[in-house]
Amino acid sequence: MNLPNKLTVLRVVLIPFFVAAMMLTEKFYLLGYDIFIFVGLIIFIAASVTDWFDGKIARNRGLVTTFGKFLDPLADKILVVTALICFLAKSPMWVDEVAVILILAREFMVSGVRLVVANEGVVVPAGIWGKLKTAFTMIAIVAIMLLEGFGIHNIWINEILIWIAAVLTVVSGVQYLSAYWKYIDSSK
């Protein structure tokens, strides 16, 4: 297994540790701060950074593999969806449920499109809107965790961040769907 694929696998392996840290929050405080939110934040940032490095290394060194094409976008989706679900489990006040539903729906839709076109022998590369959506969503998640970790619960900031992520998510989903609609044949 090459280095980019190991980084992608590491991202997936970090997800249960992120969930554990997020679910332990509100139980352990240090100097008035919920330390496990910060532990979860560090894990999330580490996992997010592997996303940037695995793609860069794979392209620069010619190490792009079928395994990487499959697992990399899936790992991103699992990481982001897990964080959003943890936020909802913590408190519906952290993020808007409708925005999370839109993000989840887009992720399922794009995964479905990828499966359908893969059957046609087409690999769906990450488009600029998809990359922008992923980067902004990860930044929004980090920002929300920082605010909440420091006890700054500002629903307006959280809402603005998650809704910008949701809009970028919808735009990228429409872009994927329109680009690959020709492969979706309702008669089959």
Q: Which two tokens stand for residue 78?
A: 């699992």
What's the number of domains the chain is made of? Answer: 1
Q: For residue 44, is it within any domain?
A: yes
Distance (Å) of CA 113 to CA 42, 84, 95: 32, 22, 27
User: Residue 93, SS3?
Assistant: coil
pLDDT tens column, 28-69? 666 667 788 899 999 999 999 998 898 889 889 988 888 888
Please name the residues in contact with 169: beta carbons below 8 A apart, sequence gap of 6 or more: 102, 103, 106, 107, 133, 137
pTM beyond 0.85: the answer is yes
Please name the residues in contact with 133: beta carbons below 8 A apart, sequence gap of 6 or more: 165, 168, 169, 171, 172
Q: For residue 57, is it within any domain?
A: yes
Distance CA 133, CA 114 (A): 17
Q: For residue 29, is it within any domain?
A: yes
| 3-state DSSP helix/strand/coil % of the chain, to nearest 5 | 80, 0, 20
Distance (Å) of CA 170 to CA 11, 19, 101, 129, 138: 24, 26, 11, 10, 16
Domain that holds residue 158: 3-183
Q: For residue 188, is it within any domain?
A: no
* Residue count (the chain): 188
Q: For residue 162, is it within any domain?
A: yes
Over residues 92-105, the mean pLDDT reads 91
Which CATH number belongs to the domain containing residue 154 in this structure?
Answer: 1.20.120.1760
pLDDT tens column, 153-175? 888 999 999 999 999 999 999 99
Pairwise pLDDT comparison (24 vs 75), residue with the higher score: 75
Q: For residue 40, is it within any domain?
A: yes
